[in-house]
Amino acid sequence: MCGIVGYIGPREAYPIVIKGLKRLEYRGYDSAGISLINSSGMNVYKKKGKVTDLEEATLGKDISGHIGIGHTRWATHGEPSDRNAHPHTSNDGSLSMIHNGIIENYASIKQELSNKGYQFSSDTDTEVLLNFIQDIKQNNNCSLEEALRIALKRIVGAYCILLIDKNDNNTIIAARKGSPLVIGIGKGEHFLASDATPFIEYTKEVVYVNDYEIAIVRADELILKNLGNEKQTPFITKLDMELAAVEKGGYKHFMLKEIHEQPSTIFDCLRGRLLTHSGEIRMAGIDNNIDKLANANRIVMVACGTSWHAGLIAEYVFEELCRIPVEVEYASEFRYRNPVINEGDVIIAISQSGETADTLVALESAKAKGAFIFGVVNAVGSSIARISHAGAYTHAGPEIGVASTKAFTGQLAVLNMMALKIAKAKGTITEDRYINLMKELEAVPEKVKEILADTSNIKAIAEKYKDAPDALFLGRGYNFPVALEGALKLKEISYIHAEGYPAAEMKHGPIALVTDKLPVVFVATKDSYYEKIVSNVQEIKARKGMVIAVATVGDTVIPSMADDTMFVPDADELIAPLLSTIPLQLLSYYVGVAKGYNVDMPRNLAKSVTVE
């Protein structure tokens, strides 16, 4: 969702901010804009559409300046349009602001300001907040920083804002609550952004701004304060990220690159943790909290989207291996329904970005009720990672494609290791099974490589079915959540209506949809449910449905019934989702490409959903 970039220092701000906005395109957006200050004043340019449309709109215009703030907007208040795009300008023309988040009590403040004669040229909550700041500044005759502090105490909602004053060409004021903000520290220059990808080539030293902090950023100075005007010590973190990680590296799309990275990202996730030779799994976040985890009365997985599917798979694995009751909750539901949280409950938060607003708030309320929070997060230093009591990173590297792929398999790898460790500590797993599952996990990167070695069959299947208006995805046991994930991927990337169902449950409704026009994707690898799923395939074939199967290499029964088959290597059923999910990622990728869609940035979707 909305991306934010700012620069202050000796270089020209425009190219840095524009390039930074392009790096944040993956977050999802519908318009873009930039404000720059130079000796002749402040210039604001904004445009509905892509960052390239913004660039076109600035051709021949004054784009000079050593201080600039830029924004990609994902519409919440007001349709995507030039006038609703950020930055917004205050009524007196002195202030320019960009904002990621939602101001919930904007309507009453807008009324207050309208009564005083303020005019609004957009439908956004951002413009209301900006004029509120201007009003406070004028009435109190105070500094911009002070006015911002007063305003922030009055507003309800989430924000990351960057604010500049045309009369001060050496300050960007930033603030955050609930929406991410990271500041890159250069030599005599500073970079500000929603994540570090816009400035990774300039500096690896960053400060993650915390909720309720205000940053006063000058070329050679960074001051952090809380809303009580007390100075905070900036905590500098060194990033372990290379520029190549945020570029396509020869692939046509980030999604394809990220699918193909999985042998190495899963390997990186296991490396140094899964020590098969000594039978040890080393994960500090778990080791240090093993009593809490092993003695948990209940585990609640809290997540959204693809991460929620990882939680569902983990539910099966944890209950099987650890014998701890597990619930899997959509963060958005969990946070609002006053869930019962007792002492001894463990919340496992699963999130690629670590910034999903619903997950974050759900955790905050569970934490306040005394739950122990364990984060399974990909983005290092993100908000969820920081508010968790303990955690384990998935180490998949930056994921740019909006549809999650490598982060998902990273989550599964972490959750499997976690379940194994807890089961070992509890004594609910035999030594043989424990070692065997470690070996199975260790073998995953090579097996994924095998699937990816030749994807031409999957591409051909995608081209054959690309015009289907609907699709059904079915699976049982560990492969049921894989079916859900397969359906979600197809929806996201190809806009084909797709539903995932437990294969047995289809007789209670979805079977009514089956005709000779409906592709039904079965995740039917060799596991303890195999015989049952063979019967389900027959039930679909008896009704002339078209069956696409994900089957185990060497299986002849499923392929003989299916119209088309995508093979994966054999694996223990607990580990199988790490493999059976890969052909489904590729299937949706190739369908999306065959239909000519922008698979990296599907319409209406955002990579990081930072509003509720």
Does the protein bind ligand G6P through residue 398 (CB under 6 A)?
Answer: no
Distance CA 425, CA 323 (A): 12
Catalytic residue among 2, 269, 304, 322: 2
Catalytic residue among 48, 421, 526, 607: 607
Whether 329 contacts 371, CB under 8 Å: no
Q: Which alpha helices (DSSP H) does 188-253 contain, by range?
A: none
Residue 186 or 391 having the CB closest to ligand G6P = 391
- Other beta carbons within 10 angstroms of residue 456's beta carbon come to 8
Report the nearest approach of ligand G6P to the CB of residue 404 (Å).
4
Which is nearer to ligand G6P, 265 or 525 (by Cβ)? 265
Q: List C-alpha distances in Å: 379 to 171, 332, 347.
A: 28, 20, 19
Q: Does 609 bind ligand G6P (CB under 6 A)?
A: yes
Residues 6+ apart with CB under 8 A from 333: none
Q: What are the Cα distances from residue 51, in Å, to 55, 410, 599?
A: 6, 31, 17
Question: Which tokens hold the place of 610?
Answer: 């930072």
Closest approach, Cβ 540 to ligand G6P, in A, equals: 28
Asked if 40 and 91 touch (Cβ cutoff 8 Å), the reply is no
Number of C-beta neighbours around residue 594 at 10 A: 16
- The length of the chain is 612
Residues in 357-376 that interact with ligand G6P by CB under 6 A: 359
The token pair at 563 is 């119209």
Candidates 43, 352, 455, 581: give the one binding ligand G6P (CB under 6 A).
Answer: 352
Provide the pairing of β-strand 470-475 with 519-523.
parallel
In the complex, minimum distance from the CB of residue 213 to ligand G6P, in angstroms, rounded to a whole number: 22
Closest residue by Cα to residue 183 from 139, 239, 230: 239
CA distance 606 to 376: 20
Question: What is the closest distance, in whole angstroms, from the C-beta atom of residue 363 to ligand G6P in the complex?
Answer: 11
Identity at 334, one-letter amino acid code: F
> How many angstroms separate the CA atoms of 397 and 352, rounded?
10
- Biggest alpha carbon–alpha carbon distance for the chain: 80
Cα distances from 278 to residues 217, 274, 423, 586, in angstroms, run 50, 9, 17, 36
353 binds ligand G6P (CB under 6 A): yes
The answer to whether residue 116 is catalytic is no
- Cα angle at 473 between 467 and 477, to 5 degrees? 165
Does residue 403 bind ligand G6P (CB under 6 A)? Answer: yes
Any contact of residue 394 with ligand G6P (CB under 6 A)? no
Told to check if 305 binds ligand G6P by CB under 6 A, we report yes
Does position 402 bind ligand G6P by CB under 6 A?
Answer: yes
Measuring CA to CA, how many Å separate 34 from each of 184, 285, 356?
Answer: 19, 41, 25
Least distance (Å) between residue 160 CB and ligand G6P: 16
Handedness of CA 436, 438, 443, 448 (dihedral sign): positive
Q: Does 301 participate in binding ligand G6P (rule CB under 6 A)?
A: no
Tokens at residue 361, please?
A: 């708030």
Least gap, CB of 326 to ligand G6P (angstroms) = 18
Among 31, 35, 307, 610, binds ligand G6P (CB under 6 A): 307
Q: Which residues pair with 172 in a beta bridge?
A: 217
**Binding piece for ligand G6P, criterion CB under 6 A, among 256-264, 443-451, 551-559, 604-612:** 604-612
* β pairing state of 390-393 and 372-377: parallel
Q: How many chain residues interact with ligand G6P (CB under 6 A)? A: 16
Q: How far is the CB of 607 from ligand G6P (least distance, A)?
A: 5
392's CB contacts (< 8 A; 6+ apart) are 283, 285, 286, 374, 375, 376, 414, 417, 418
Residue 90 or 307 with smaller CB distance to ligand G6P? 307
Nearer to ligand G6P among residue 13 and residue 299 (C-beta): 299
Taking the least distance from each CB to ligand G6P, the nearer of 90 and 351 is 351
CB nearer to ligand G6P: pick between 404 and 416: 404
Name the minimum Å distance from CB 382 to ligand G6P. Answer: 9
With respect to ligand G6P, which residue has the nearer C-beta, 161 or 360? 360
User: Is residue 507 helix, strand or coil?
Assistant: helix
Stretch that binds ligand G6P, among 192-200, 364-372, 396-404, 432-440 (CB under 6 A): 396-404
Instruction: Considering the complex, state which of residue 169 and residue 307 has its C-beta at the smaller distance from ligand G6P.
Output: 307
Q: Is 351 among the residues that bind ligand G6P (CB under 6 A)?
A: yes
**Of the candidates 184, 124, 112, 205, which has an alpha carbon nearest to the alpha carbon of residue 151?**
112
Q: Residue 378 CB, nearest distance to ligand G6P (Å)?
A: 7
Q: Which of 145, 172, 237, 221 is nearest to 7 (CA)?
A: 172
Does 335 bind ligand G6P (CB under 6 A)? Our answer is no
Q: Measured between alpha carbons, how far is 186 from 386 in angstroms, rounded to an integer?
A: 24
Q: Which two tokens stand for residue 338?
A: 């006053």
Cα–Cα distance measured from residue 353 to residue 379, given in angstroms and rounded to the nearest whole number: 5
Distances (CA, A) of 383 to 55, 198, 240, 388: 32, 18, 17, 9
Choose one: 345-353, 385-393, 463-471, 494-502; the region binding ligand G6P (CB under 6 A): 345-353
Please report whether residue 581 would count as binding ligand G6P according to CB under 6 A.
Answer: no
Closest residue to ligand G6P, judged by C-beta, is 305
> Taking the complex as a whole, how short is the minimal distance between the CB of residue 26 and ligand G6P, in angstroms?
10
Q: Is residue 410 at the binding interface for ligand G6P, with CB under 6 A as the rule?
A: no
Tokens encoding 369: 């009720």
Residue choice 89, 134, 262, 356 for contact with ligand G6P (CB under 6 A): 356
**Does position 194 bind ligand G6P by CB under 6 A?**
no
Name which of 9 and 391 has its Cβ closer to ligand G6P.
391
The only residue of 89, 90, 169, 404 in contact with ligand G6P, by rule CB under 6 A: 404
CB of 315 to ligand G6P, least distance (A): 17
Look up 607 and say whether it is catalytic: yes
Q: Does 607 bind ligand G6P (CB under 6 A)?
A: yes
Binding ligand G6P (rule: CB under 6 A), the pick from 85, 304, 312, 461 is 304
**Which CB atom, from 44 or from 605, has the smaller least distance to ligand G6P?**
605
**Per rule CB under 6 A, is residue 409 in the interface with ligand G6P?**
no
Return the number of the residue (203 or 351) whose C-beta is nearest ligand G6P.
351
Catalytic residues: 2, 607
Residues that bind ligand G6P (CB under 6 A): 304-307, 351-353, 356, 359, 402-404, 605, 607-609
